[in-house]
Amino acid sequence: MTDTPSALSPVLEQADKALDAALERLFAFLRIPSISTQPEHAVDCRCAAQWLRDELDSLGFDARLCETPGHPIVVAHDRTPPAGPHVLFYGHYDVQPVDPLSLWKTGPFEPVLVTGKDGVKRIVARGASDDKGQVMTFIEALRAIRATQGTLPVRVSLLIEGEEECGGPNLLPFMDAHSDELRADVGLICDTAMLPGVPAVTTMLRGMVGEEIHLRCADRDLHSGIYGNAARNPVELLCQALASIRDPQSGRVTLPGFYAGVQDPPEALRARWAEIAPDDATFLGEVGLSVAAGEKGYTAIEQTWCRPSFEINGISGGYADEGFKTVLPGEAVAKVSFRLVAGQDPIRIRQAFCARVRDMLPADCTVTFKPCGGSMASTLPDGTFGLRPTLAALGAEWGTPAVTIGCGGSIPVVADMRRVLGMSALLVGFALDDDRAHSPNEKYDLTSFHKGIRSWVRILHAMAASHA
C-alpha cells in the first residue's frame, strides 16, 4: 500500500504544490448559483457549464456545450489521447436550492475555507461537496498530470450534466443519441461518500421514485367556522393517506408487494460494515438524533445502504405563516419519494403508491399525481473493469484498505450508463456523511479535496498499469 511508482511522485508533488490555485478555481466554480430546479437560475446553470467547458478546453480537451430542452450538458474528449483503456468521467454542475437561507452562516454562493475548533479545514458553500468539489478533484488530477507528464495515462472523456438535482429527463435521451461517442470501457463517477479515513467504492446504489400529490376538495379556501366538519379537509385526507404508507410499529412500508424481490446483502458484508461503519448512535448523533427510525432489525447504515425507504420530502396546505387563520384549505400538496434497492421495480411501486392514495380518498376529493423521476437500483459486479486497480490505488493513497459500500442516495446515471452505453461505472467519492449535502452550510473537507485529487492521479495510473 505504500509503494508509489516513481513516475507518480512528481505528479503527486505537483498536485500538492498547486492546491491553493486549485482551491481558487473551485471557489470560482462555487460562486455560480447553478440551482437547476429553479427556473430563475437557468442562466447560472449555463454559466457553470461554460465555465467547465473553458477549463477543460484549457486542459487540452475538445470541450463543448450540448443543448437540451433543459440545461446544457458538457462533453469533452482528450485532444491527444493515449492508446489503452478509455474512461468516461461523469459529474454534475448543478446544485440544490439553498432554503432556508437564514440558517446559512455564510452566503451559500460565497465560498469560504473555515478552520474548525478540531483544526479541520473545510470548504463551505452550496455544492462544495455535491458535486462541484468532487468534480474538481478529477479535473485538478488531470491538470497535475498534464503539468508534469503531458499525456494522460488513459484515454479520458467527460460528461458533466446540469439536471442531476432536479431529476431532469434530458440526460438519458442525450446519452442515447450520442452513445457511440460516449461509450468507454468504464464510467468513473465522483458523487458519493466514503467513511471517515476509509476510502470506498460504492457498489450498491438505491434507485428512486418521486411523486408530487395535489389534493383538492372545495373549489376555494373556506371559513372553518362556516364549513368546518361538513366540508372535506384536503390536509386531513393527505395526512391520513401519507400516515398509512408506513407501519409505525415495524417501520416497514405497507404498500402491497413493496418488498417483493428485495434481498439482504451477504452476512459477511453486513459484518464488515458493522466493523467499519459508525453505529446508530454515532451516525444519527451527528444530526441530533439517537434512535434509528426505520425498519426494525437493521442498523441505521444498513437501512440507508441496502433497504428501501419512504420519505415525505415536503408538505403544504392552508395557512402556516405567522399568526393564525381559521381557514379550511381547498388544496393540499405533498412531495414524497421512495428509495429502491435491487429487485424493486420503480413503475410497480409508483402504481402501488398512487393506488393506495386513491383508495383512501372519499368522494368530493380529486387527486393529481405528478411523477418526479424514477430509477432502478443497481449493484456492481465484482469483476467490473477497473474495480481492483481502483481499490488498490485508493488504499495506497489513504493508507488503509478500501472497501465496497452501499449508498443511500440515488444516482440514476449508473443504471442509464449500463443500459444505454453497456458499461459499468465505478463510484469513487470523497464526501463524508456530515457534509450537509442538500442542507444549509454544506461543506467539503479540504482533505477530501486534496487527497481526492491525489486519489484520481493514482487511479488513472493504476488503470493504465493494470491494462498494460
Least distance in angstroms from the C-beta of 188 to a copy of itself: 20
CB nearer to a copy of itself: give 166 or 446: 166
Q: Which three cell numbers stand for residue 268?
A: 459477511
CB nearer to a copy of itself: give 147 or 354: 354
CB nearer to a copy of itself: give 238 or 415: 238
Annotate 212-271 with DSSP letters as a single string: EEEEE-SSS-EEHHHHTTTS--HHHHHHHHHHTSB-TTT--B-STTTTTT--PPPHHHHH
Least distance in angstroms from the C-beta of 330 to a copy of itself: 8
Least distance in angstroms from the C-beta of 4 to a copy of itself: 33
Radius of gyration (C-alpha) of the chain in whole angstroms: 23
CB nearer to a copy of itself: give 1 or 320: 320
CB nearer to a copy of itself: give 334 or 462: 334
Residue 150 neighbours by CB distance under 10 Å: 9
Least distance in angstroms from the C-beta of 227 to a copy of itself: 7
Least distance in angstroms from the C-beta of 105 to a copy of itself: 12
Collect all residues with Cβ–Cβ distance below 8 Å to 423 and sequence separation of at least 6: 88, 183, 184, 185, 186, 187, 385, 417
Question: What is the distance between the alpha carbons of residues 234 and 238, in angstroms, rounded to a whole number?
Answer: 6
Partner residues linked to 215 by β-bridges: 332, 367
CB nearer to a copy of itself: give 152 or 413: 413
Collect all residues with Cβ–Cβ distance below 8 Å to 149 and sequence separation of at least 6: 7, 10, 11
CB nearer to a copy of itself: give 276 or 312: 312
CB nearer to a copy of itself: give 71 or 458: 71
Annotate 47-58 with DSSP letters as a single string: HHHHHHHHHHHH
Q: Which of 315, 304, 368 is nearest to 339 (CA)?
A: 304
CB nearer to a copy of itself: give 48 or 292: 292
Least distance in angstroms from the C-beta of 222 to a copy of itself: 6
Least distance in angstroms from the C-beta of 104 to a copy of itself: 11
What are the φ and ψ backbone dihedral angles of 434, each rounded to 5 degrees? -95, 20
Least distance in angstroms from the C-beta of 7 to a copy of itself: 37
Least distance in angstroms from the C-beta of 460 to a copy of itself: 28
Least distance in angstroms from the C-beta of 443 to a copy of itself: 12
Q: Which of 228, 245, 241, 242 is nearest to 318 (CA)?
A: 228
Long-range CB contacts (< 8 A, 24+ apart) of 351-357? 352/255, 352/256, 352/257, 352/258, 353/209, 353/211, 353/245, 353/255, 354/211, 356/241, 356/244, 356/245, 356/255, 357/213, 357/241
CB of 188 within 8 A of CB of 421? no
CB of 207 within 8 A of CB of 373? no
DSSP single-letter state for residue 121: E
Annotate 57-92 with DSSP letters as a single string: HHTTEEEEEE--SSS-EEEEEESSPPSS-EEEEEEE
CB nearer to a copy of itself: give 82 or 107: 107
